[in-house]
């Protein structure tokens, strides 16, 4: 697991409904129109949170729960053909997703947006395509905050104060708990084979390095970021209460 010290947000000037919504979510889609919300002050923009659903969708339940109370609207992206950015098929239990939304979304903030997010030949291009396409679905003038499925907000109250700015982009004080590598071996293999960086480094070599790390030797790891080694200089053991990865299925 990795703690990210800050996250970016940016403003959305217009709303372009260019993607197909899930037919099963017609009722939830009515929440897309601008509406009074938890951040409806005239001098402060609202917050649109975006999270993408795919093979690790169960991680998203904790992610969404961590920011639900802060959000004015929540957009969940989903490939309509159930293909990853590497064009590999994945399964998602939509009954489970809808049950989670029904239990949490008493304010009707959440809607699912489906589209073709695997059209490009490179997975990072598909990553950027999906993020951009979902961003323009946000309500006009809102701050767009993208939280990946395996990220959990740790200090939401501090984060919301950062949006009172005329700047088009701000470095926020947001802290995230990121289950980037905090997965079972099977889950990590699936991620490494399908995420945006799947072709950008020696995936098999990095997985072997990951498997070699233990509680006895982790302090020996140095400069191990898969794309830019010195970005991650060392490993430290931390105790974080109240946040756990979903059980493997």
The average pLDDT across 169-198 equals 89
3-state secondary structure of 178: strand
pLDDT of residue 86: 97
Is 80 exceeded by the pLDDT of residue 203?
yes
Q: What is the mean pLDDT of residues 20-38?
A: 37
Highest mean pLDDT pick, 20-34, 114-128, 157-171? 114-128
Is residue 119 scored above 60 in pLDDT? yes
Worst-scoring range by mean pLDDT, 16-25, 127-136, 202-211? 16-25
Smallest CA-to-CA distance from 119 within 84, 90, 92 is with 84
Average pLDDT in the chain: 82
Q: Residue 109: pLDDT above 70?
A: yes
CB atoms within 10 A of CB 8: 12
- Checking if the pLDDT of 156 tops 70, the result is yes
Residue 22 has pLDDT above 90, yes or no: no
**CB contact set of 204 (below 8 Å; sequence gap of 6+):** none
Q: Quick one: pLDDT at residue 163? A: 66
**Does pTM top 0.85 for this prediction?**
no
68 has a pLDDT exceeding 90 = yes
Find all residues with CB under 8 Å of 243, minimum gap 6, and list them.
Answer: 62, 152, 154, 177
Quote the CA–CA distance of 127 and 170 in Å, as a whole number: 22
Among 13-22, 66-75, 215-224, where is mean pLDDT lowest? 13-22
Helix axes 203-212, 185-194, angle to 10 degrees: 160
Residues 145-158, mean pLDDT to the nearest whole number: 90
**Nearest 10 degrees: Cα torsion 137, 110, 147, 68:** 140
Confidence of residue 44 (pLDDT cuts 50, 70, 90): low
Higher confidence at residue 158 or residue 14? 158
- CA pair distance 182, 30, nearest whole angstrom: 36
Query: Of 21-30, 111-120, 147-156, 161-170, which gets the smallest average pLDDT?
Result: 21-30
- Per-residue pLDDT, 72: 95
Whole-number Å distance between alpha carbons of 99 and 145: 24
| pLDDT for position 248 | 57
Provide the pLDDT for residue 245.
63
DSSP H or E segment with residue 21: strand 20-21
* Nearest Cα to Cα of residue 83 among 193, 206, 181: 193
Q: Which of 25-29, 142-146, 153-157, 212-216 shows the lowest per-residue confidence on average (mean pLDDT)?
A: 25-29
């Amino acid at each position: 697991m990795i703690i990210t010290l800050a996250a970016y947000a940016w403003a959305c000037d217009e709303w372009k409904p260019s993607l197909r919504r899930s037919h099963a979510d017609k009722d939830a889609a009515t929440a897309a129109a601008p509406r009074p919300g938890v951040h409806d002050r005239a001098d402060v923009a609202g917050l649109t949170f975006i999270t993408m659903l795919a093979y690790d969708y169960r991680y998203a339940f904790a992610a969404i729960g961590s920011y639900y109370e802060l959000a004015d609207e929540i957009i969940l992206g989903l490939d309509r053909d159930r293909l990853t950015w590497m064009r590999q098929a994945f399964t998602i239990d939509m009954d489970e997703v809808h049950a989670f939304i029904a239990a949490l979304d008493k304010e009707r903030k959440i809607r699912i947006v489906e589209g073709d997010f695997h059209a490009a030949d490179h997975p990072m291009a598909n990553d950027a395509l999906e993020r951009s396409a979902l961003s323009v679905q946000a309500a006009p003038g809102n701050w767009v905050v993208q939280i990946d499925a395996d990220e959990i907000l740790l200090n939401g109250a501090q984060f919301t104060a950062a949006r009172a700015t005329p700047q088009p982009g701000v470095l926020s004080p947001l802290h995230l708990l990121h289950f980037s590598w905090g997965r079972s071996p099977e889950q990590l293999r699936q991620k490494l084979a399908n995420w945006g960086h799947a072709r950008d480094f020696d995936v098999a070599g990095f997985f072997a390095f990951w498997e070699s790390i233990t509680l006895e030797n982790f302090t020996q790891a140095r400069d191990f970021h898969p794309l830019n080694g010195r970005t991650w200089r060392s490993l430290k053991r931390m105790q974080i209460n109240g946040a756990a990865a979903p059980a493997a299925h």
